Amino acid sequence: MFEITIFFLIASLFSVFTGRFLLSTLGIKLNKNQFSYSEQGFFGLILLSFVALLLNFFYPIDSNIASFALLIPFFQIFFEFKKLNNKLIKQIFFHSLIISIVCFIFISFDNVNRPDAGIYHLPYIKILNEFKIFSGVVSLNPVFGATSIIQYTSAIFNNFLFKDVGITIPLALLAIYLIEYFVRQFFLKNNDTSYRLLLFLIITYIFLEMNRYSEYGNDNPAHLSLFYFVSLIFRKEFLLKNDKNFKILTLVALFIFLNKLFFIFILLFPVTIWIKDKLYLKRKFFPFFSIVFFSLWIIKNVFISGCAIYPVKITCTERLSWYSNNPKFIIAAENLSQFSELHAKNWSDIVDNEKYLNYENNIKKKKIFLKNFNWLTSSSTSENAKYGFLKIFNNFIFIIFIILIIYIFYNPKLPKSKKDSFNFNKRFILTVSIISTVILFYKFPLGRYGTSYFIILTYFLFYFLFKNKIKILDQKKIKKTFTYLVVFTGLIFLAKNVSKIALNFNVEYYQKPWPRIYENKDELKSLNAGSNKPVNHNYILKDNLLKIYYINDLNYWTSDRSTTCMYNKSPCAQTSNNFDKFKIVKTKRDYYIIKLNKN
């Protein structure tokens, strides 16, 4: 257990100085304390994501290549050597120590996100660790095309120091960095009233509904990053007329999108500001780093899937040997797109009967089901889908109730004050949240996809209903009430994670107490010292060139998900059912290409 704390301490120092390197490169003066150490660590993770993405075009991100990334913080230490006084070093070290202790509590004896981590998060990280960019790899598993930038961050943490367990570190670091940031912001004295209300909603929701490491797949990092994005917009001192702030906000918006395709509308905010305020006339506002980052991501998508944005069919090209729209190929974008929508709406053929072949099969029945809101009343819809949105609030509904009580019944006489500014930035965020929520409900009605938008809309609901009473949050009694609730929910967060450690302290398994990355289908209490050892799945030597591992030979779309690839040997597919539909080619420079048998 001591190892986890030490590893996170080193990882946090590594991330913070890497973030300082990025901020310094963008021209931001660190001595002004504009960004906290947690924010610096968050930006460090973003830079490492970019580095991993870039490197994978030329190298597998193995432990040797990943270890070179450890040099980045040393460059920064060298550059600001004269400014690194004892006080600053102690502050950064103490901050990282606190982060590492909380990360230890957060991650110990927890699971990776199930089943998604086993199906495609971990297997894709393993591919990044062992292969250069792999053209057409989505033919092995269609959701490889929907991977997140956080998989690249995880891959580069498998270095000579952390080894394989390092891939579990970035997700926990990102979560704790941003939680620490929100809490710190909440307790600052100079925050305005509406900003404090937003922070209160974010913090209490995280503590009540996002308090387990096992819940952090690709969705929660995107939600937390969006919360951070909105908080920057609300911060009085964060002015977008400053070119450096504009570049930072653009980078954060891009990072959100690279975590989750659904957040593409957030990218429109910096674009709109850039055009509206005529920032394009000023060269210093051009977000060069973000443009390069985005371009690399699009190029990567084309290589692995044949689509600029997978699974959006109009962005795909059949001119590539590894892509086809033909429904018999599981790489066809429309297969994943339709399956995802039907699954989200609990189409009974998938949920109950485990039947799905491709997007053309049973097409008339599917179109009727998906048309307008027929799925809500259809007998083909599982009852779970109809309550998908409500699930995200669970315990949080209690906090909403308390706020309503305060606003409705507590009505002190307040001095007249200026109305809170409802500027363009807030209007834009509100508009995007409404549009995204409507699209989400219409296309993919799963609450976990829209968590951050729902919290933002909850904030604006209170803002508009009670904006004349918004200043009551400045009253001492109300401030204390909100503070007590933040502390109380924070204790729930800690208690839930500490109890997890206490209950499983005597459980034995390989790499205890790290989350299991090799074998994750059983509950912790049923494990023994032989559990979580690397698994040797079935494999075929495809075209006498490459061993491809697989779980079973069932139809991919309805194959069993109880056993998954995890972080075992790669490349690994859930099923060998489609292996006869492609061949493997290896170039002189050791790049692998999956070529479809289109004839």
DSSP 8-state secondary structure symbol assigned to residue 121: I
Please state the rounded mean pLDDT for residues 553-564: 86
What pairs with residue 586 in β-bridges?
592
What percent of the chain stands above pLDDT 90?
A: 68
Distances, alpha carbon 344 to alpha carbons 305, 503, 505, in Å: 23, 34, 37
Question: Which pLDDT band, with edges at 50, 70 and 90, does 328 fall under?
Answer: very high
The pLDDT value given to residue 237: 85
How are beta strands 582-586 and 572-575 bridged, if at all? unpaired
Q: Edge-to-edge strands of the sheet including 572-575?
A: 538-542, 546-552, 572-575
Does position 20 have pLDDT exceeding 80, yes or no? yes
The mean pLDDT value for 470-481 works out to 72
| 468 vs 163, residue with greater confidence | 163
For helices 37-55 and 2-25, the axis angle rounded to 10 degrees is: 80
What would the mean pLDDT of 148-153 be, rounded to a whole number? 97
3-state secondary structure of 58: coil
Over range 550-567, report the average pLDDT. Answer: 90
Q: What one-letter code names the amino acid at 336? A: L
Integer Cα distance of 563 and 566 in angstroms:
9
pLDDT at 299 over 90: yes
Average pLDDT, rounded, for the chain: 90
Residue 246, both tokens: 């504009």
**Mean pLDDT calculated for residue range 354-370:** 89
Residue of 519, 515, 509, 512 lying closest to 565 (CA atoms): 519
385 phi, psi to nearest 5 deg: -65, -35
Output 272 or 377, whichever has higher pLDDT.
272
Q: Is 183 helix (H, G, I), strand (E, B) or coil?
A: helix
Long-range contacts of 54-58 (CB under 8 A, 24+ apart): 54/296, 55/156, 56/128, 56/132, 56/133, 56/152, 56/155, 56/300, 57/132, 57/133, 57/296, 57/299, 57/300, 58/132
Q: Report the distance separating Cα 263 and Cα 252, nearest Å.
A: 12
Residue range 496-503: mean pLDDT, rounded: 95
User: What percent of the chain stands above pLDDT 70?
Assistant: 93
Q: Which residue has the higher pLDDT, 417 or 576?
A: 576
Q: What's the mean pLDDT in 33-48?
A: 95
- More confident position, 3 or 479: 3
Predicted confidence at residue 347, as pLDDT, reads 85
Residue range 91-103: mean pLDDT, rounded: 97
Cα angle value 78/166/256 (rounded, 5°): 80
Of 6-15, 248-257, 433-442, which gets the smallest average pLDDT? 433-442
Rounded CA separation 253/245 (Å): 12
Q: What is the mean pLDDT of residues 163-190?
A: 95
Residue 108: band (very low, low, confident or very high) from pLDDT cuts 50, 70, 90: very high
Q: Is the pLDDT of residue 527 over 50?
A: yes
Among 113, 344, 125, CA closest to 217 = 113
Which range among 58-72, 268-282, 310-324, 368-382 shows the weakest confidence by mean pLDDT?
Answer: 368-382
Nearest to 570 by CA among 511, 526, 518, 532: 518
Q: Measured over all CA atoms, what is the biggest interatomic distance in the chain, rounded to whole angstroms? A: 81
Output 137 or 380, whichever has higher pLDDT.
Answer: 137
**Token digits for 317?**
């090209």
Residue 78's alpha-carbon distances to 21, 39, 73, in angstroms, are 10, 21, 9
Q: How many angstroms separate the CA atoms of 507 and 501, rounded?
A: 10
pLDDT value of position 372: 75
Per-residue confidence band for 403, with pLDDT thresholds at 50, 70 and 90: confident
The mean-pLDDT minimum among 3-12, 344-353, 469-478 falls in 469-478
- Confidence band, pLDDT 50/70/90 cuts, at residue 562: confident
The letter for the amino acid at 527 is L
* Separation CA 393–CA 46 (nearest Å): 29
- Confidence (pLDDT) at 470: 66
Beta bridge partners of 236: none
Q: Are 15 and 44 in contact (CB under 8 A)?
A: yes
Q: What is each CA distance from 226 to 183, 410, 435, in whole angstroms? A: 16, 32, 15
Residue 420's pLDDT band (boundaries 50, 70, 90)? low
Give DSSP secondary structure letters for 130-181: H-S--BTGGGT-GGGGG--HHHHHHHTT-STTTGGGGGGHHHHHHHHHHHHH
Strand, coil or helix: 542:
strand
Statement: residue 355 has pLDDT above 90? no
Using the predicted structure, report yes or no on whether residue 242 has a pLDDT greater than 80: yes
pLDDT band, residue 382 (cuts 50/70/90): very low
Q: Which token pair is 157?
A: 């943490």
Q: Is the pLDDT of residue 38 over 90?
A: yes
Q: Which helix (H) or strand (E) holds 273?
A: helix 268-276
Neighbours of 241 (CB within 10 A): 10
